A and B are shown apart, each in its own frame.
Chain A
Amino acid sequence: MTLLITQQVDARGLSCPMPIVKTAQAMKSISSGSLLEVLATDPGSVKDFEAWSRTTGNELVERSVEGAVYRFVLRRK
């Protein structure tokens, strides 16, 4: 199934906590139920995105890693 991504955040090359900060900012600009795709290279982002999703209630729909790039898809609460 192909997910319909509303917005993308390119956080590649950004260090902690910027991938999460950029994501939190972008999340405010999309509507409830829409999907946000994030690309990051910070290894800490794996646990950060899990925890952020759990705390904020924005569901982590998909995650994958390709080489050194982590990809997360989140659905706005």
Chain B
Amino acid sequence: MVEPLNLILFSGTDDKLQAAAVLTAGAAAVGTPVNVFLQYWALDAFRADRIERDHGLAPEAGPQGRALVDSLRFAGQASWSDTFRQAKELGGIDIQACSLSMDLLHIQQTDLDPLVDGVEGITAFHINAGDGQVVFI
């Protein structure tokens, strides 16, 4: 059995979420299962009514980084949410919301985009991660 790739998404800016979506899609394309665990600001970005919004960029981007990211978008780059959706069509992707972050941010499962498969605690995440790599973004 192929060990899964396990991503903990913490940051809620569009550039980091884009990077995470690309990692996920790339793994899905070679048949590697991916477990995605959403915490804090990444979880907030997956709210159904906010997912398509502008979530800003990491502080190191600066105005020049903003312009570069915008130009890639205008050239037709898929958004991070679209990239996740396409990756999920390939199968093997499980996206779970961290139950602690749900409490912290007062989010109900019905508030989340359908990309999110469910809610779990950190123990379930660790057990499902098996011997696969864990990446924190």
Which residues of A line the B interface, CB within 8 A? 13-18, 20-25, 52, 55-56
Neighbouring A residues of B78 by C-beta, 8 Å: 14-15, 18
Cross-chain pairs A/B with CB under 8 angstroms, 22 sampled: A13-B75, A13-B76, A14-B78, A15-B72, A15-B75, A15-B78, A16-B22, A17-B25, A17-B26, A17-B83, A20-B25, A20-B29, A21-B29, A21-B86, A21-B87, A21-B90, A23-B29, A24-B29, A25-B90, A52-B30, A55-B31, A56-B31
Look across to chain A and name the residue whose beta carbon is closest to the beta carbon of B24: A17
Q: Does B28 contact A (CB under 8 A)?
A: yes
Which residues of B line the A interface, CB within 8 A? 22, 25-26, 28-31, 72, 75-78, 83, 86-87, 89-90
Q: Which of A13, A21, A55, A56 contacts B25 (CB 8 A)?
A: A21
Interface of A is mostly: helix
Residue in B25, B26, B29, B87 whose Cβ sees the most chain A Cβ within 10 Å? B29
Contact in complex: A25, B89 (CB < 8 Å): yes
Neighbouring B residues of A56 by C-beta, 8 Å: 30-31
Look across to chain A and name the residue whose beta carbon is closest to the beta carbon of B31: A56
Neighbouring B residues of A55 by C-beta, 8 Å: 30-31
